Amino acid sequence: MPTFVRKSVTIRNKLGLHARAATKLAKLTQQFAAKVYIVQEQQQVDASSVMCLLLLASGQGRQIDILAEGDDAEAAVAAVAELIESRFDEEQ
């Protein structure tokens, strides 16, 4: 039975979810078997799609939810949360 995991995080990097950050996030989610989504307010997008992530226009300070469904959903959510909380490895 597939696992469903959800975690809320805040975008902390100065530029928000811009192209380079979205690309890192999408590539990371593609490493997992679980399907990963990002939810912001009423919008839910496929986290493996850079274009979908950019359409969220998530700026610094925005709260988002990471959702994942599948066998490695917990690991996927943990990895995505770590990437976001580390400010996408960008300068502070």
The pLDDT of residue 55 is above 60:
yes
The 3-state secondary structure of 5-73, one letter per residue: EEEEEECCCCCCCCHHHHHHHHHHHCCCCCEEEEEECCEEEECCCHHHHHHCCCCCCCEEEEEEEECCH
User: Residue 89: its pLDDT value, please?
Assistant: 85
Q: Specify the number of domains making up the chain.
A: 1
Percent share of the chain, pLDDT over 90: 91
22-43: average pLDDT:
97
**CATH value at residue 47:** 3.30.1340.10
User: Residue 3: its pLDDT value, please?
Assistant: 82
The pLDDT of residue 61 is above 80:
yes
Domain ranges, residue 67: 3-89
Among all residues, which ones are annotated catalytic?
18
The pLDDT of residue 70 is above 80:
yes
Mean pLDDT score across all residues of the chain: 94
